[in-house]
């Protein structure tokens, strides 16, 4: 086909997506001096100092990665655990219920969540939820819930009724049908939903900033914002860049792993559909 | 009752979304600031009166809407290109997919700092590139006429993968034989795009548009980090103004009023968009997907 | 199923992480009174050594835990405020910026220190360091670092620094036209708190004021018009780069450090940065006070950090002991030498050895003597925000100086109106 156009588009996508990241990578290995003076001599040009600063911090950087992973995974699991049955029932619900639910979910999904932080803060105080990674998963799950249900409901609707009917005739109950037939069929949309939820929780800043103050429990974005030089006036671009790089390595791995899940899930879906 | 399965989800949403909104509505009818010693004192509609006469609020509404529309427009186009590309079979597709997902995977606040550094004048890469090309300095972050474009670029970069995922999911639902049949009839690639892809993707596209519009309407941390609303207030978003009033000025009454008002305006905006997408046939029918 | 196994092992691992940190907390809590202090990240970094020393001595009766806040000043305030609103008793003390104090005090979050303060010690402070610690006649803050706006200049380009605004322009133009330097003067023009600081120095240098002692707002005067016109002319004449309207302290320092500018407005911290090996102007920098019209005393905007004790703290006396330790004379000298933190104790400035070692002390002293605080009111954040917005409009040529200052004046009055005055 139009191979050249395709390659052109492909390279544009690559450059657009990782160009800014490459600049971050470059920044992370540069001395502060090199950043403002590109013609500097080679020996003063490159440095590992930014990485040393990030990795030698106390508590160690991997702890923030683990914290973010915990919050991300648990929020994703909670959301899916509640959203999958809800979406199933919504896809089967009668017109009135599904109409009302859709207004409800859509309204919630659309609300710019940043504006909720003040009320969430009051909530955290009343129920003493500060400084607890598991508690942080509650707002995260709730915030991702509307979108998750909307996406999953639509893919439940796409599954032909005959498949479920056949399973029902074979004597499978609701839970079995969900677990053995429907969920495997929906793997592609479940995994992309999972990625959305996970990434939201991984990146969330304002709620995490105000709910967590114990250094050992910080999530990655908040922890990175606490990297600093010796003055409140100077921004350590190099160290931020290094932290971004270190912080995105596990993500890269996760997305790569999930990539296979999605692809194989899609294949299955295509064959059976 | 199978509908009971909806209950846990809906309760959670009630707690985290609905109750706060009701609470904001309640607070907006009170004075609640340092001047009242941080206690609630009813003041009828004083906050709302102030809001209607607050030119800064309306300027921010305009700026936020402009930001939202332009970002989402660009995002949809880019995401469509990415989704179509990633839907093809080619070597190393997994790696390219991962790469194109990466921007979405990085924390907004951190990458926003990165963008501030990228747009930095005169040491950022953009200014350096311009200098090498021999063009005049751009100074995109210091010119009130252009700075908002910089925030749009950062937002498009960050959220395009999200739409691409949705569109890709949509593309996967289109049976391949439809295209083959079309090809047999002698249709070109662009014809098939127009005749098959676009109509079948329409629900996914409108879902993305509406969802992203609403999210862009609430843009906050990106702008906070890159410009803090400047220069000349030209990038201040409505969420940033509400946030300033609450956390910096400690005027919770007025902040709540802004939040409620912007939510009402957002609903109106979405109704209007729905009307224009479906030309009045079915309001909010995108919901049904 | 493999994924589930991985997840489970993660959860298992993570429970250890949490347990571990809880154990650590318990261990220290047992014997000692724990004092929690919130600081912006850079201050946590610089005081780490002092804190370690403190925790090892003192019969281990007091254990200080510093909560490292985010790096950016305003984000730290957001964190502090959300915790204070929550009344969550997490902190015993907070390192607060001079502009936060009236707001926090009015909200009733801070504990007055008058009863804890030793009068003699208070008297030993530099005059400039005493300012900005009290509100409504009570002292709410013990100073930690003083900060003042200074004019940095290049000794390799000129022999003596400019004294007046006109001189600054004249010298810059001359240096620029002979290609000695790319820009004349870099400062903070981004729409943020730094712009208010810059403007306060200039408006007073032209003989005006932002808000005077009788609480009159003076933004719509000839002096303020002159001041904002002068700032605009810097950009129009190419003395400051166009991008200065997006500069914070860091950006100005980058330009000055790379030798691209003859003058810079910045805080004392920049001195230490400019003496580092990677600085192109190392050894060729001197500081002086900001320019002012002939016959008018120049002004240095006071920006300072200090410790405030939170009202709900259960260990106020112990907390004050920690504060005393962190701000005592030797600690100040240590922080000054290592990080360039401006000392607050008067006797340090008359110390001969230190003066010889650090000639900059003399200039900081003269800056501290003319230090002037920004308006001390609980609505400061609002009125400063309005000023920044309008100044930014002026220097980016969106509004004429006249229009902008008129708007700034009326917006400020509107705010004061809506909150019932100062």
Across the interface, whether the CB atoms of A213 and C67 are under 8 A apart is answered yes
With a cut of 90, say whether residue C344 has pLDDT above it.
yes
What count of Cα atoms within 13 Å lies in the side-chain half-sphere of residue C183?
26
Element counts in chain C: helices (H) and strands (E): 18, 13
Q: Which residue has the higher pLDDT, A130 or C182?
A: C182
**Exposed e or buried b for every residue in A180-192, given b needs 16+ CB within 10 A?**
ebbeebbbbbbbb
**How far off is chain A from B144, nearest CA to CA, in Å?**
23
**Residue A123, pLDDT score:** 85
Does ipTM top 0.90? no
What would the mean pLDDT of B96-125 be, rounded to a whole number? 85
Work out the percent of chain A whose per-residue pLDDT is above 90: 18
**Residue B287, pLDDT score:** 41
Which stretches of chain A sit within 8 Å of chain C by CB? 31-33, 35-37, 44, 63, 66-67, 69-70, 73-74, 77, 121-122, 124-125, 130, 133, 209-210, 213-217, 222, 225-236
Give chain A positions within 8 Å (CB) of B270.
110
Closest residue in B to A93 (Cα–Cα): B3
**Residue B198, pLDDT score:** 87
Topology agreement, domain C28-147+303-372 and domain C150-301+379-419:
yes
- Residue A273's contacts (CB-CB under 8 Å, 6 or more residues apart) are B175
- Residue A105's contacts (CB-CB under 8 Å, 6 or more residues apart) are A146, A149, A150, B13
Work out the percent of chain B whose per-residue pLDDT is above 70: 95
Helix (H) or strand (E) holding B100: helix B93-105
Work out the percent of chain C whose per-residue pLDDT is above 90: 78
Q: Which residue has the higher pLDDT, A119 or C124?
A: C124
Q: Quick one: how far is CA C373 from the chain centroid? A: 11
With a cut of 50, say whether residue B184 has pLDDT above it.
yes
Q: How many CB pairs under 8 A join B and C?
A: 101
Across the interface, whether the CB atoms of C42 and A125 are under 8 A apart is answered no
**Residue A270, pLDDT score:** 34
With a cut of 90, say whether residue B102 has pLDDT above it.
no
**Residue A151, pLDDT score:** 80
What would the mean pLDDT of B37-64 be, rounded to a whole number? 92
C11 falls in which pLDDT band (50, 70, 90)? low
* Least confident span in B177-181, B238-242, C110-114: B177-181
**Residue B206, pLDDT score:** 84
Domain extents in chain C: 28-147+303-372, 150-301+379-419
What would the mean pLDDT of B261-277 be, rounded to a whole number? 84
The token pair at A25 is 């990578």
Work out the percent of chain A whose per-residue pLDDT is above 70: 93
pLDDT digits (tens, 9 = 90+) for C225-281: 999 999 999 999 999 999 999 999 999 999 999 999 999 999 999 998 898 888 899
Q: Say how far apart CA C87 and CA C109 lie, in whole Å.
A: 9
With a cut of 60, say whether residue C407 has pLDDT above it.
yes
Question: Could you tell me the domains of chain B?
Answer: 41-288 (1.10.3720.10)
Across the interface, whether the CB atoms of C41 and A228 are under 8 A apart is answered yes
Q: Mean pLDDT in chain C? A: 90
Q: In which residue are the tokens 């191979």 written?
A: A3
Task: Give whole-number Cα distances, A154 to A86, A174, B24, B45, B166, in Å.
Answer: 12, 19, 32, 42, 12
Q: Say how far apart CA A178 and CA A88 lie, in whole Å.
A: 8
C94 falls in which pLDDT band (50, 70, 90)? very high
**Exposed e or buried b for every residue in C286-309, given b needs 16+ CB within 10 A?**
bbbbbbbbeeeebbbbbbbbbbbb
Q: Mean pLDDT in chain B? A: 86
B162 with B100: CB under 8 angstroms? Answer: no
Q: Which CATH class is domain C150-301+379-419?
A: alpha beta
Q: Say how far apart CA B229 and CA B24 lie, in whole Å.
A: 24
Q: What is the dihedral of CA C342, C346, C350, C353, to 10 degrees?
A: -50
Q: How many CB pairs under 8 A join A and C?
A: 117
Give chain B positions within 8 Å (CB) of A253.
none
A271 falls in which pLDDT band (50, 70, 90)? very low
**Residue C109, pLDDT score:** 94
pLDDT digits (tens, 9 = 90+) for C133-176: 999 999 999 999 999 999 999 999 999 999 999 999 999 999 99
**Residue C265, pLDDT score:** 97
Q: Quick check: C182 contacting B, CB < 8 Å?
A: no
With a cut of 80, say whether residue B244 has pLDDT above it.
yes
Chain B residues 31-50 with CB within 8 Å of chain A: none
Closest residue in A to C88 (Cα–Cα): A125
What would the mean pLDDT of C314-330 be, rounded to a whole number? 95
What would the mean pLDDT of B257-282 be, rounded to a whole number? 79
What would the mean pLDDT of A155-166 be, rounded to a whole number? 84
From the candidates C76, C87, C106, C191, which should be mutated to test the interface with B, based on the most B CB atoms within 10 A? Answer: C191
**Residue C2, pLDDT score:** 53
What would the mean pLDDT of B193-213 be, rounded to a whole number? 85
Q: Choose the closest CB to B144 out of C74, C381, C398.
A: C398
With a cut of 90, say whether residue B78 has pLDDT above it.
yes
Q: Comparing C-alpha atoms, which of A220, A71, A195, A206 is closest to residue A140?
A: A71
Q: Comparing C-alpha atoms, which of B60, B75, B113, B87 is closest to residue B208?
A: B75
What would the mean pLDDT of B257-278 be, rounded to a whole number? 85
**Residue B284, pLDDT score:** 42
Find the angle CA(C45)-CA(C288)-CA(C250) to the nearest 5 degrees: 40
pLDDT digits (tens, 9 = 90+) for B126-169: 888 888 888 888 888 999 999 999 999 999 999 998 888 778 87
Across the interface, whether the CB atoms of C85 and A63 are under 8 A apart is answered no
**Residue B278, pLDDT score:** 63
Which of A41-45, B119-123, C197-201 holds the top average pLDDT? Answer: C197-201
**Residue A265, pLDDT score:** 43
CATH architecture of C28-147+303-372: 3-Layer(aba) Sandwich (3.40)
Cβ burial, residue C26 (10 Å; 0-12/13-18/19+): exposed
Q: Say how far apart CA C68 and CA C73 lie, in whole Å.
A: 12
**Residue B113, pLDDT score:** 85
**Residue C8, pLDDT score:** 55
Q: Which residue has the higher pLDDT, A202 or B165?
A: A202
Give chain B positions within 8 Å (CB) of C379.
34, 249
Q: Choose the closest CB to A14 out of B78, B96, B115.
A: B96
Closest residue in B to C389 (Cα–Cα): B232
Q: Choose the closest CB to A228 out of C45, C90, C270.
A: C45
What would you measure as the largest C-alpha separation in chain C, in angstroms?
81
* Least confident span in A157-171, C94-108, C336-350: A157-171
With a cut of 90, say whether residue C298 has pLDDT above it.
yes
B207 with B125: CB under 8 angstroms? Answer: no
**How far off is chain C from B107, nearest CA to CA, in Å?**
15
Question: Could you tell me the domains of chain A?
Answer: 60-226 (1.10.3720.10)
Closest residue in B to A251 (Cα–Cα): B105
With a cut of 80, say whether residue A9 has pLDDT above it.
yes
Q: Which residue has the higher pLDDT, A156 or C293?
A: C293
What would the mean pLDDT of A49-77 be, rounded to a whole number? 88
Q: Which residue has the higher pLDDT, B4 or C161?
A: C161
C341 with C145: CB under 8 angstroms? Answer: yes
B51 with B57: CB under 8 angstroms? Answer: yes
Task: Give whole-number Cα distances, C407 to C206, C227, C394, in Å.
Answer: 20, 15, 11
Q: Choose the closest CB to B114 out of A16, A24, A220.
A: A24
Q: Which chains touch B (3 or more CB pairs under 8 A)?
A: A, C
What would the mean pLDDT of C114-118 be, rounded to a whole number? 94
Pairing type for strands C93-97 and C33-39 reads: parallel
Q: Say how far apart CA B108 and CA A205 lie, in whole Å.
A: 8
Q: For helices A61-92 and A237-272, give the axis angle rounded to 10 degrees.
A: 30
Q: Quick check: A234 contacting B, CB < 8 Å?
A: no
Q: Quick check: C107 contacting B, CB < 8 Å?
A: yes
Q: Choose the closest CB to A119 out of B23, B111, B161.
A: B23
**Residue A126, pLDDT score:** 83
Helix (H) or strand (E) holding C95: strand C93-97
With a cut of 70, say whether residue C285 has pLDDT above it.
yes
């Amino acid at each position: 086909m139009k191979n050249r156009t395709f390659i052109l588009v492909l390279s544009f996508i690559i450059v657009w997506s990782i160009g800014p990241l490459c600049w971050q990578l470059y920044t992370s290995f540069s001395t502060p001096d090199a950043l403002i003076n590109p013609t500097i001599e080679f020996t003063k040009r490159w440095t590992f100092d930014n990485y040393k600063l990030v990795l030698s911090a106390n508590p160690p950087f991997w702890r923030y990665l683990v914290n973010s992973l915990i919050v991300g995974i648990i929020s994703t699991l909670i959301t899916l655990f509640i959203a999958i049955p809800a979406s199933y029932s919504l896809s089967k619900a009668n017109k009135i219920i599904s109409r009302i639910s859709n207004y409800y979910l859509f309204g919630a999904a659309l609300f710019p969540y940043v504006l909720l932080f003040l009320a969430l803060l009051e909530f955290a105080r009343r129920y003493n939820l500060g400084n607890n990674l598991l508690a942080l998963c509650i707002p995260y799950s709730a915030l991702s819930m509307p979108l998750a249900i909307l996406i999953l409901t639509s893919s439940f609707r796409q599954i032909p009724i005959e498949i479920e009917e056949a399973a029902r005739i074979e004597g499978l109950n609701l839970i079995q049908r969900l677990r053995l037939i429907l969920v495997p069929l929906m793997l592609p949309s479940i995994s992309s939903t999972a990625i959305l939820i996970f990434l939201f929780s991984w990146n969330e800043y304002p709620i995490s900033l105000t709910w967590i103050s114990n250094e050992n429990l910080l999530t990655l974005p908040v922890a990175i914002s606490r990297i600093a030089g010796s003055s409140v006036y100077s921004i350590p671009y190099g160290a931020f860049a290094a932290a971004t790089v270190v912080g995105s390595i596990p993500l890269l791995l996760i997305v790569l792993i999930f990539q296979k899940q999605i692809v194989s899930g899609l294949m299955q879906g295509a064959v059976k559909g | 009752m199978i509908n009971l399965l909806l209950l846990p989800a809906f309760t959670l949403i009630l707690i985290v979304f609905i109750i706060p909104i009701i609470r904001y509505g309640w607070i907006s009818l009170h004075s609640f600031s340092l001047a009242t010693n941080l206690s609630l004192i009813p003041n009828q509609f004083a906050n709302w009166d102030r809001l209607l006469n607050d030119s800064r609020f309306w300027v921010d509404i305009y700026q936020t809407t402009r930001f939202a529309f332009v970002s989402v427009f660009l995002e949809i186009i880019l995401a469509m290109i990415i989704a179509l590309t990633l839907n093809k079979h080619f070597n190393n597709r997994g790696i390219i997919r991962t790469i194109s997902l990466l921007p979405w995977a990085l924390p907004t606040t951190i990458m926003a700092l990165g963008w501030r550094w990228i747009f930095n004048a005169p040491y950022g890469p953009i200014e350096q590139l311009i200098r090498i090309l021999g063009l005049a300095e751009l100074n995109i972050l210091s010119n009130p006429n252009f700075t908002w474009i910089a925030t749009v670029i950062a937002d498009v970069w960050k959220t395009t993968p999200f739409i691409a995922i949705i569109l890709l999911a949509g593309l996967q639902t289109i049976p391949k034989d439809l295209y083959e049949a079309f090809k047999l009839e002698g249709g070109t690639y662009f014809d098939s795009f127009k005749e098959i892809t676009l109509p079948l993707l329409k629900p996914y596209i409108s879902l993305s548009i509406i969802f992203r519009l609403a999210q862009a309407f609430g843009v906050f941390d990106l702008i906070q980090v890159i410009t803090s609303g400047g220069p000349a207030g030209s990038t201040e978003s409505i969420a940033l103004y509400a946030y300033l009033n609450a956390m910096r000025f400690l005027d919770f009454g007025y902040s709540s009023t802004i939040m409620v008002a912007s939510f009402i305006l957002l609903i109106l905006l979405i109704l209007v968009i729905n009307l224009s997408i479906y030309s009045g046939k079915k309001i909010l029918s995108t919901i049904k997907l | 199923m493999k994924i589930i196994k991985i997840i489970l092992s993660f959860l298992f691992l993570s429970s250890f992480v949490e347990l571990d940190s809880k154990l650590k907390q318990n261990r220290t809590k047992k014997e000692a009174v724990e004092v929690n202090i919130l600081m912006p990240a850079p201050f946590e970094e610089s005081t780490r050594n002092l804190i370690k020393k403190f925790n090892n001595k003192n019969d281990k009766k007091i254990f200080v835990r510093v909560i490292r806040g985010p790096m950016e000043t305003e984000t730290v305030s957001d964190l502090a405020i959300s915790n204070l609103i929550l009344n969550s008793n997490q902190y015993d003390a907070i390192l607060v910026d001079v502009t936060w104090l009236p707001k926090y005090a009015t909200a009733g979050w801070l504990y007055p220190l008058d009863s804890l303060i030793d009068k003699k010690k208070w008297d030993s402070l530099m005059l400039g360091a005493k300012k900005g610690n009290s509100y409504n006649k009570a002292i709410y803050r013990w100073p930690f670092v003083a900060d003042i706006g200074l004019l940095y200049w290049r000794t390799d380009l000129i022999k003596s620094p400019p004294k007046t605004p006109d001189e600054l322009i004249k010298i810059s133009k001359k240096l620029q036209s002979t290609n000695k330097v790319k820009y004349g003067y870099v400062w903070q023009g981004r729409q943020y708190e730094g712009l208010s600081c810059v403007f306060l120095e200039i408006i007073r240098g032209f003989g005006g004021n932002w808000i005077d002692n009788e609480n009159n707002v003076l933004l719509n005067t000839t002096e303020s018009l002159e001041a904002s016109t002068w700032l605009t002319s810097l950009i129009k004449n190419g003395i400051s780069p166009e991008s200065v309207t997006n500069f914070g302290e860091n950006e100005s320092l980058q330009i000055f450090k790379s030798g691209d500018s003859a003058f810079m407005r910045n805080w004392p911290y920049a001195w230490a940065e400019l003496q580092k090996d990677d600085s192109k102007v190392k050894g060729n920098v001197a500081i002086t006070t900001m320019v002012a019209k002939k016959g008018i005393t120049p002004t240095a905007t006071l920006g300072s950090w200090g410790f405030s004790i939170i009202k709900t703290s259960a260990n106020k006396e112990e907390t004050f002991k920690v504060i005393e330790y962190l701000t005592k004379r030797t600690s100040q000298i240590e922080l000054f030498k290592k990080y360039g933190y401006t000392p607050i104790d008067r006797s340090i400035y008359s110390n001969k050895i230190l003066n010889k070692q650090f000639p900059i002390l003399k200039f900081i002293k003269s800056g501290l003597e003319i230090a002037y605080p920004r308006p001390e009111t609980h609505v400061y954040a609002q009125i400063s925000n309005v000023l920044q917005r309008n100044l930014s409009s002026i220097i980016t040529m969106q509004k004429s100086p006249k229009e902008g200052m008129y708007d700034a004046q009326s917006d400020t009055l509107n705010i004061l109106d809506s909150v019932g005055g100062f």
